[in-house]
Structure 1
Amino acid sequence: MVYSIILLLSRKPSVTWAEFKHYWETQHMPLLKQLVGHDFPLSHTRHYLELNEEGRPNVEIGSPEGIDYDGLAVLTFWNKDHCARFMKKLQDGEKHDIHARSLDQFVDVGRLRGFTVGQTSSTGRDGGAVGWRFVGSV
């Protein structure tokens, strides 16, 4: 069974929406892969909130109050041990400092949230269970 972490990221007030997305994709992700090597997650999927004309989240259900993040990431690992190896590499002295400096370029670190999720189920439009399929290379 795979093990997943969901991250909620808010951009720094001094960082524009475009700068946030650009830095995360072109600077932070390559750096993260370099820092952890083979212990990189099976997938690191980034989602960006869609904004309306007023620059507020485009909310389909409920209200935008309380939505104070700009991006969501789903990190999927083979298992809890794989996740632990990834996290341990990021806690290493020099790697920790490099990672922290990169995050500080675009993320309001004080508002960063991450949590693990349990069992994941997925249903395809034909009604059958989709399951988890890895897209990419290990």
Structure 2
Amino acid sequence: MVFVVLITVWRKPGMSPEAFYDHYENVHMPLIRRLAGDKIPISHNRLYVTREGPDLKERMVQEAECGEGISYDAVAELIFEDEAHNLAYWQTLYAPETNGALTEDEYKFMDRSKLRIVAIKNKELMIRNDFFPGKDDVNKYGFLPHGKFN
């Protein structure tokens, strides 16, 4: 059974959302890939909170709840093969031989004092009835993870 971790991330005070996104994707993620090596999660999905746009609230069903009171800037979902894989990943990232490289980078773009990491008990995926894994073209539902479905 997979092991899922959810992380909420706040950007460093004074940093723009664009700079936060750019650093996370173009500096932090390559660093994680390099440090983690073969311990990398099955997937590392990052979701960024949208706060701007003239029609943002009009696109939501309940516009009063559209991001109001949300203080974090990103949510990351990491999926591991199992709990042992999860533990090996974190031990690799923060091993003494990395010389604190990951932590040092985190302070460059996130408010690390607010960082929250939590294990998720169950992960359930709802897929529309007209989607058939392995039969449908991957472009039909590009947002879905294609390949192995359990």
Change (3 A) 1:22 1:81: same
Structure 2 counterparts to residues 63-102 of structure 1, below 5 A: 64-95=67-98, 97-102=100-105
Q: 1:110 aligns with which of 108, 113, 134?
A: 113
How far apart are the structure 2 equivalents of 1:84 and 1:30?
20
The Cα of 1:84 is off from its aligned counterpart by 0.5
Q: Which moved more, 1:60-69 or 1:27-36?
A: 60-69
Structure 2: distance between partners of 1:47 and 1:64: 14
Computing the radius of gyration from Cα coordinates, the structure with the larger value is 2
Question: Greater CA deviation, 115-124 or 75-84?
Answer: 115-124
DSSP-derived class of the 2:100 partner? helix
Mind listing any 5+ residue stretches in structure 1 that lack a counterpart? none
The one-character-per-residue Cα deviations of 1:71-95 (angstroms, maximum 9, x if unpaired) are 0100100000000100111221242
Structure 2 CA distance for aligned equivalents of residues 4 and 29 of structure 1: 18
Cα deviations by residue, 1:29-75 (Å, 9 ceiling, x for unpaired): 00011111000111111000111349x99976536454110001001
- Distance in 2 of aligned mates of 1:11 and 1:114: 15
- How many equivalent residue pairs? 133
Residue 5 (structure 2) pairs with residue 5 (structure 1): yes
CA pair 134-118 structure 1, distance change in 2 beyond 3 A: farther
Aligned-residue sequence identity (percent) comes to 26
Compute the TM-score of the two structures, normalised by the length of structure 2. 0.77
The answer to whether the 8 Å contact 1:23/1:106 transfers is yes
Q: Is the 8 A contact 2:51 2:67 kept in 1?
A: no
User: What residue number does 1:16 align with?
Assistant: 16
CA RMSD of aligned residues (A): 2.8
